């Protein structure tokens, strides 16, 4: 049995976190860089779980390797759980004037700026949010496991911190009194939605791996 697993994500922030988190599994972790010809799968699911399974299934079927994928996002209570599964594409719903007014045009910056814009009417006390992640693992024979984790917090009014990626600079953890972008990788990996999901998944792992 090969001791290799494919991490099926193109998001560098996720790769850095998952690489470190998965060290405990004692596996050789390959990235999608090893498979440049693998086409991206369209994320058509309505839930994090559906999308995580879609991505992991696609990678396992094409490469013949046990594949792990994360689908994740931010849910703001005041926005009825948005952006949720649309977190990576949230800025696409913004009007043209919004884009013209932005100093940067990269995806992470635009998503965060659009979120702060939508949250403008909501004062402190109405800014609860959580990060959620579902991590799915799929074997080449199609067998799968999946687990979820969420990280409760609040949205700030401005960006704080330089670390992490995506929405980290506006996600404030009240228990630790700082944003996710003000945490080191080690600290974020102790508390994050992704860490919580992976801890859950670890419980199913021995049976999943043994049947491979
Ligand atoms: P892959 O599908 O290749 O994994 P992606 O970036 O498209 O990469 P998703 O579809 O799961 O990943 O979208 C996740 C979105 O939620 C994306 O905008 C991230 O920036 C954001 N997000 C998820 N986890 C986050 C975290 O820990 N910190 C900040 N933002 C996060």
Give the per-residue pLDDT at 172.
Answer: 98
Of 19, 33, 70, 71, which one is the catalytic site residue? 71
Condensed to tens digits (0 to 9), the pLDDT of residues 154-183 reads 999 999 999 999 999 999 999 999 999 999
Token digits of residue 155: 């949205």
Condensed to tens digits (0 to 9), the pLDDT of residues 119-137 reads 999 999 999 999 999 999 9
SS3 94: coil
Grade residue 24 by pLDDT with cuts at 50, 70 and 90. confident
How far does residue 81's CA lie from ligand 1's centre (Å)? 16
Q: What's the number of domains the chain is made of?
A: 1
| Residue among 44, 59, 74, 153 whose CB has most ligand 1 atoms within 8 A, to mutate | 74
Condensed to tens digits (0 to 9), the pLDDT of residues 71-117 reads 999 999 999 999 999 999 999 999 999 999 999 999 999 999 999 99
Number of other CB atoms surrounding residue 76 within 10 Å? 23
Pocket residues: Cβ below 6 A from ligand 1? 9-11, 14, 43, 55, 70-73, 87-88, 108, 111, 131, 164-168, 180, 192, 194
Residue minimizing CA distance to atom 31 of ligand 1: 166
Residue 173 annotated as catalytic: no
> What CA–CA distance (Å, rounded) separates 13 from 133?
14
Residue minimizing CA distance to atom 28 of ligand 1: 168
Give the per-residue pLDDT at 114.
Answer: 98
Pick the atom of ligand 1 nearest to 55's CA: 2
How far does residue 57's CA lie from ligand 1's centre (Å)? 18
Pick the atom of ligand 1 nearest to 74's CA: 16
Give the per-residue pLDDT at 211.
Answer: 78
Q: For residue 142, which phi and psi values (nearest 5 degrees)? A: 100, -15
Query: Is the pLDDT score of 1 beyond 70?
Result: no
How far does residue 148's CA lie from ligand 1's centre (Å)? 14
Residue minimizing CA distance to atom 6 of ligand 1: 11
Give the per-residue pLDDT at 139.
Answer: 96
Query: Is the pLDDT score of 29 beyond 70?
Result: yes
Q: How far is CA 12 from the centre of its chain?
A: 11
Grade residue 3 by pLDDT with cuts at 50, 70 and 90. confident
Query: Is the pLDDT score of 153 beyond 90?
Result: yes
| Average confidence score pLDDT of the chain | 96
How far does residue 176's CA lie from ligand 1's centre (Å)? 22
Grade residue 25 by pLDDT with cuts at 50, 70 and 90. confident
CATH number for the domain spanning 163: value is 3.90.950.10
> What CA–CA distance (Å, rounded) separates 163 from 72?
18
204 to 7, 32, 55, 103, 142: CA distances (angstroms): 18, 24, 19, 45, 16
Range of the domain at 69: 4-210
Q: If residue 12 lies in a helix (H) or strand (E), which one and from where to where?
A: helix 12-21
Grade residue 141 by pLDDT with cuts at 50, 70 and 90. very high
């Amino acid at each position: 049995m090969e001791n290799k697993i494919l991490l099926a994500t193109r998001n560098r922030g996720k790769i850095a976190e998952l690489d470190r988190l998965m060290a405990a599994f004692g596996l050789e972790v390959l990235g999608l860089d090893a498979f440049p010809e693998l086409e991206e799968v369209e994320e058509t699911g309505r839930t994090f779980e559906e999308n995580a399974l879609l991505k992991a299934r696609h990678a396992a079927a094409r490469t013949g390797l046990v594949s792990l994928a994360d689908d994740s996002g931010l849910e703001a209570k005041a926005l009825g759980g948005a952006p949720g599964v649309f977190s990576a594409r949230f800025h696409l719903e913004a009007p043209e004037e919004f884009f013209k007014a932005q100093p940067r045009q990269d995806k992470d910056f635009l998503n965060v700026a659009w979120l702060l814009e939508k949250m403008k009417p909501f004062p402190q006390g109405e800014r609860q949010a959580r990060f959620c992640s579902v991590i799915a693992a799929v074997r080449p024979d199609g067998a799968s496991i999946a687990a979820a984790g969420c990280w409760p917090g609040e949205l700030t009014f401005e960006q704080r911190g330089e670390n992490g990626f995506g929405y980290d600079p506006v996600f404030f953890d009240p228990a630790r009194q700082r944003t996710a972008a003000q945490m080191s990788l080690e600290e974020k990996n102790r508390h994050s939605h992704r860490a919580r999901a992976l801890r859950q998944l670890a419980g199913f792992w021995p049976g999943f791996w043994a049947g491979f």
